[in-house]
Amino acid sequence: MSCFTSEDEAQLQSMLRQLLQSVKEKITGAPSVECAEEILLHLEETDENFHNYEFVKYLRKCINSTVGSVIEEEIEKCISAQSQGEVSGYDMLVQHVTKKTRESKEYREMMHALKNVMMVVVESLINKFEEDQMHNKELDIKPKKERRSGYYTDNCSDSDSSFNRSYTFLSQEQLQLLVERLDPIQPMEVRQEALQTLCFAPPSDILNSETWPDLRKHLTTSLSDPDTAFSEKILRFYAKAFSSSPFNMTRDVYTSLARHLELYFLSGEYSLRISAGLDVSNPHIDRLLKKVRLLNEYQKEAPSSWIRHPEKYMEEVVDSTFSLLSVNHEPNHPASPDFLSPVYFLALLDIKAVWFKKWMHAYYSRAVVLRLLEKKYKSLINAAVQQCLDYFESCKAGVNKNSSVSDFSHQHCSDEQNFSYAGQELQYVYFVHSLCLLGRLLVYKQGQNLFPVELKNKKDRVSVTDLLVLFTQLIYYSPSYPKTALAGHTDSYSPTSLVMEILQVFCDQTGCAAECLYTDAVIDALLHPVQSVLSGTEVYLNCLETTLIDVADILARIAAVDDGLSFFLHGENEKTAKEDGPTAVHVIVQFTKKLLHDDISLLSGSELLPVVKGAFIFVCRQMYRTCEGLQMLIPYGLHESMGEAWKKMSLLSERVPTPVTGVDSISSISLESKNSLLWEETLLDALLNFSATPKGLFLLHSTGAMNDCVNFMFSSLSKKLQANEYEEFGNKVIITQMATTPSGAVALQSSGFIKALVTELWALLECGKDDLRITQPQSTPIDPIDQSCQKSFLSLINLLTYPAVFELLSKQDTPNKPVYSFREVPTDIIDIIDRLIILNSEAKIHSLFSYEQSHIFGLRFLNVLCCELNTLLLLESQYKVSQVLLTAQEENVIETSEGPGDFIIDGLSVERNHVLVRINLIGGPRERILPLRVLDKGSNSYPWPMFSSLPLPKCYLAETPRKGEFRQDKDLDKLLSLLKSPEKQSGWAEICRKQFYKVMKARPDIISGTILAELIEKFVSHLSESQLDCYFSTGNDKVQRGGVSFEHK
C-alpha cells in the first residue's frame, strides 16, 4: 500500500461500485443512515455472495499479507500453551488470537494505511457523483420548475414509501446555506426553493447536522406563515422525519411543533371560544387539527422506542406535551372560562386518551409522567376533575327535572356528515377524554398519590374516593339509550359504558380495588338505586333497568374476589358494621328476594326484568359459593325463594298454549317459550351452585330441585356450553360434592351422567368410537394409565365416594355372563368392576382388545377405591375381590413337570401384588410396607415376594417400636390435657389448633392413630355444640329417593 497509484485507485473504485450496486436495494430500503450502516455491518450474515465480492477479496488479501504471520505465530503459542493446560477450548483460542492480533503493531499499520487509501477513493467517488449531478441539472434546467411540485408530492408526504424516494445528500456547507435561505426575512421564492431542496435530503441527516438548531428555529417560525402551502410543506417534512428517524432525533421535531402550537394558542390572533362551537370544515381549523393530529400520532408511537434512549429525551417530550395542554387564559381574563384550549383539539382526535394509556403502561415512562404531573402540571388533573364534576352536575340537574340531558355520544356518532361541533358537544368530548385519563391515572398507586386535589369552585378537596363515587353516580344519572339499544351500548362513548370499563379494570386490579373500591362510600353509591327501590322512595334515574344491570355487574366482580366478599359480609370496619347499619350483603339479598317474588312495582311489566333478576342472582351466587357467605344468607331463605320461582316457571312452561293458525301467533309463542326456558335455566344454574358447599348441598336438596339441577348440568356438559376452564373446574367441584350424598349420587345416575362417563372411558380405553375407521393399530401406551384415560380416571375417582359407591353398588351382583360381545359397552360402575377388575373367566379376558392395559387400569382404579375403608369392606363382602386376586396370582405361575413353579413376573402380577398388600394390611407407612410397582435392573428384578394365599409374608409388616423407644413430649402432654379437660374455656378450638400445629411441626411421628381419633372426635363434638361453627344440625334428616325414605341420625 505504500505505492498507491492511480491504477490502484481506479481498481478500488470499480470494486466499491460493484459492492454498492449489489447492495443498492437493501440500502435504499433503509429508513435512515444508521439503519443502512447496520445493514452493511451485518452483510456477511445476510448476503450469500459476500465472499465473492472483489472488494472483500481485496481486504482478505491485505489481511493475509500484513497480519497473517502474526496470526500464525499466536496460534502456535496457544497450541503449545494448550498442551500444558493453560488455554482450553476453541472459543478461548479464537478470542485470544483475535485480541493479540488487534494489539499488534502490524495491525495498527494496516488499518492506518487502509483508512488513508479508502479516504482517497471515497472522496473521488463523491466528487464524481456531484459532477454527474451538476451535469444532469444543466441538461434538465428547463422542465425543473414544472417537476418541483410533482417531486415534492412524491417524496415529502407523510405516506411516502422507501421505494420511490429520491434523496439528495447535502454537505455541511450546503446545509448552512439552506439555513440562511430559510430565514423568515428572506423572500418567499428563496425560502420555497430552499424548502424544496430540504425535502429531497434524508431527514436523519438534517436532524443530525450541526445546523439543525438554527434550522429548527426557522421552521418553527415558518409554521405560522400566512402562506398555507409553505407551512404545510414544513408539516410534511415533520411527518417524514417522524416516520423515518430514530427517537433521539425526532424528539426535537416534536418539541418544535408543540412549542409552535403553544405560542399560537397564547398569541392574540387566536380567538376561538367554546360557546361559538367549532367548524372543522374551516381551512384554518383544518390546518390546526392536522398539526395536533401529527402530535397525537407521535404520542402514540413514541412509547415503543423511547425506552432505548436516555430518560431526559423522553422527559422533553412529556414536558412539552403537558406544557401545551396546560395553556389557558389567565384566571382574571374575561374569556377564560370560554377559552377553547388545546386539550379540546386533542380530545377531538383521541377522545379515549389512548396516548395517555400508552404513556402510563410501562414504569419507565409512567414514573416521569407522574413526577411532572405532581411537580409542574397538577392543573391538568384539576381541570379533568372539574370537567367531570361539571358534566355530572348538568346530568343530575336534568334528571331531577325529569328532562334527560342530550346524549351527545349517540347523537354525534350517528351523524357522519356533521362537520361542526356545538359548544355542548365540545364539552362532552373533553369530558370523555378527562374521564378516560383519570380512570387510567387511578389504576396505579402513584397516580392515587396525586389526590386529593383542590378545585376553585369547591370548598372540600376531592379525594380518590370522592372521584370513584362520582364515577359510580354517573352510571345512573348520565343519559342512557333506549331499551332496544341495550345490546350494543357498550361500544359507544356513553358515560355509562366508559365508567363501566373503568370500574371493571379496577375490579381486575385487586390491589387497586382493595384501596379504592372497598370503601363504604363507593359501595353505598353503587347500592343507592337498590336502596331507593327497597325503601319505596321516588327514583330519579334515566333508565332503572339498565342501571340495575350495570350495578349488579360491578357488585358481582367485587364479590368474586375473597377480599371483596369479606367487605360485603362485614363492611369496611368489621367491629362497627352491625352498629352503623346493614352491610351490603343484606341489601343485595333483600332486593334479590323482592325481585324473585315480583314485589317491585317500578319494574313490573319490564322486558328487562328477567335480565335484572339474573344479574342480582349472580351476585348472590358469588356469595353463597363460600361457607361464610352461605351462613350469612341462610336466614333470608334465598334458596327457598329460588326454588319457588323455579317451580312456578316449571309449571308455566308445561302449560304452553297450543298455537293457532298464523305466523305471528307462532312466533310470539316461540319467543315467549324461549324466554321462559332461559329464565328457568338461569334459576336451575343458580340452585345448582348451592352445592359448592356441604351446607348448600343440603339446602339444594330441601328445595326438591336436585334431579332437575343435575339434569341441567349434564345437558350443559353434553352441549359443551362451558366457555372457560374456570366453569369446567366449578362443575367438577359440584359433581364431587354431590357424590358425597346418597341423593346426589342417585341424581347423577338418573341423569345419565355416570353412563356417559363410563361410555367415554370405554371408548378411550378399549375400542374407540363405532364410527371411527381404524386405518392403523394404536400405539402401545407407555404409562400404566395412558394419558388419554387420565381425565376419565380422575373423574371416576372423584365421583365414587363411599355414599355414591353404596348407592350404586349395594346389593348388586356382577353380571358374570358366559359370553361378552365385542360391541357390548359398559354403562354403569358395576360393569366397570365386572369387565376390568374381576376378570374371573376366559370370556371376560377374550372380550378385551387390550387385556393387559385395561386390566391394569381396573387394578389401579380398585387400588384407589380401597383407600376408603367403608368402600373396601363393601367390595370385599359383596365381590370377594381379595380372593379373586389371589386366585389370579395362583394361576399366574410357570408350569413344570414337577408341578406349579415360580410366579410369572409381569405388569399384572406386580399390580395385583400391590393391591393385595394394600387391602389386607390396614395402617400407615409405619405399620405396613407396600411393594413397589417398578422392576429393578439386574437378575433380581422384583425383590418383593409374591403370594397366592393368606396370611401375607411377614416382610410386608413394619416393625413396631418398643414402648421404651417413645420419649415423653411436653407439647404432646399439653395437647392431651386439653382433650381430656371437661371444661372448655373460650377459644378452646383455636388453642387446640395451635398446639396441634406445634406438635406436628416439631415431631410429626409422635402422634398415634388413637390420639388423632380422639382429637377429631372431641373437635367435631365441640363444633356441633357451637352455633357459629355448626353447619349440620345433630337432629334427624330424611332423604327421599323415589318411593323410599332414608333416615340419617
pLDDT in tens, 313-350: 999 999 999 999 999 855 555 446 788 999 999 999 99
Cβ pair 862, 881 in contact under 8 A: yes
Q: What is the Cα–Cα distance from 952 to 944, expressed in whole angstroms?
A: 12
pTM of structure = 0.72
Cell of 444: 396505579
Does 439 have pLDDT greater than 70?
yes
Least confident segment among 339-353, 885-899, 959-973, 1029-1043: 1029-1043
Range with the poorest average pLDDT among 182-186, 765-769, 872-876: 765-769
- On whether the CB atoms of residues 691 and 738 are closer than 8 A, the answer is yes
Alpha carbons 371 and 431: distance in angstroms, whole number: 24
Q: How many CA atoms lie within 13 A of 334 on its CB side?
A: 1
Enumerate the β-bridge partners of residue 273. 339
Question: What are the E-state strand segments in 768-906?
Answer: 893-896, 899-903
Quote the percentage of the chain above a pLDDT of 90: 41
Q: Is the peptide bond before 951 cis (omega within 30 degrees of 0)?
A: yes
pLDDT digit string, tens, across residues 813-833: 999 999 988 888 899 999 999
Residue 612 Cα to chain centre, angstroms: 28
Q: Is 1046 helix (H, G, I), strand (E, B) or coil?
A: strand
Which of 452-461, 638-647, 846-855, 975-984 has maximum average pLDDT? 638-647
Q: What's the average model confidence in pLDDT over 404-422?
A: 57
SS3 state at 121: helix
Task: Identify the band that residue 46 occupies on the pLDDT scale cut at 50, 70 and 90.
Answer: confident
Give yes or no for a contact between 104 and 70, defined as CB atoms under 8 angstroms apart. yes
The span from the CA of 429 to the CA of 409, in Å, is 8
Q: What is the mean pLDDT of the segment spanning 876-896?
A: 91
CA 103 from centroid of its chain's CA atoms: 54
Q: What is the C-alpha end-to-end distance of the chain, expressed in Å?
A: 108
Q: Which SS3 state, helix, strand or coil, does residue 785 take?
A: coil
Q: What distances in angstroms separate CA 368 from CA 249, 286, 359, 361, 375, one per listed residue?
A: 20, 32, 9, 12, 11
Q: Angle at CA 638, nearest 5°, toward 634 and 639?
A: 90
To 10 degrees, what angle do helices 105-139 and 54-83 make? Answer: 160
Q: What is the pLDDT of residue 11?
A: 84
Sign of the dihedral defined by the CA atoms of residues 802, 808, 811, 813, in that order: negative
Residue 3's pLDDT band, with cuts at 50, 70 and 90, is low
Collapsing DSSP to helix, strand or coil, 463 comes out as coil
Arithmetic mean of pLDDT, 425-438 = 95
- 3-state SS, 278-339, equals EECCCHHHHHHHHHHHHHHHHHHHHHHCHHHCCHHHHHHHHHHHHHHHCCCCCCCCCCHHHE
Give the CA angle between residues 456, 462, 466 to the nearest 5°.
140
Residue 149's pLDDT is 38
746, 760, 847, 1042 from 808: Cα distances, Å:
8, 19, 24, 14
Mean pLDDT value across the chain: 82
Of 162-166, 710-714, 902-906, the one with minimum mean pLDDT is: 162-166
pLDDT above 80 (res 736): yes
Quickly count helices (H) and strands (E) in the chain: 51, 6
Q: 155 φ, ψ to 5°?
A: -110, -10
Residue type, 186: Q
Considering the chain, what percentage of its residues have pLDDT values greater than 70? 81
Q: Report the distance separating Cα 688 and Cα 533, nearest Å.
A: 29
Range 751-778 average pLDDT: 74
What radius of gyration do the chain's Cα atoms show?
Answer: 42
pLDDT of 384 over the 80 cut = yes
Residue 595 sits at the vertex; the CA angle it makes with 594 and 600, to the nearest 5 degrees, is: 70
- Between CA 557 and CA 622 the distance in angstroms is 9
Copy the grid coordinates of residue 853. 392395559
> Rounded to a whole number, what is the largest CA-CA distance in the chain?
124
pLDDT tier, 720 (very low <50, low <70, confident <90, very high otherwise): low
Q: What kind and span of H or E run contains 520?
A: helix 520-535
- The pLDDT value recorded for residue 375 is 94
The predicted pLDDT at position 488 comes to 41
What is the pLDDT averaged over residues 119-141?
69
Do 760 and 753 form a contact (C-beta atoms < 8 A)? no
Least confident of 309-318, 522-531, 656-665, 954-963: 656-665
State which amino acid sits at residue 322: F
Give the integer Cα–Cα distance in Å for 200 and 177: 15
pLDDT tens digits, one per residue of 469-521: 999 999 988 876 444 333 443 357 889 999 999 999 999 887 776 678 899 99
Q: What is the pLDDT of residue 657?
A: 54
Q: State residue 96's pLDDT score.
A: 82
165 pLDDT more than 80:
no
pLDDT at 800: 93
One-character DSSP codes across 942-954: --SPP-SSSSPPG
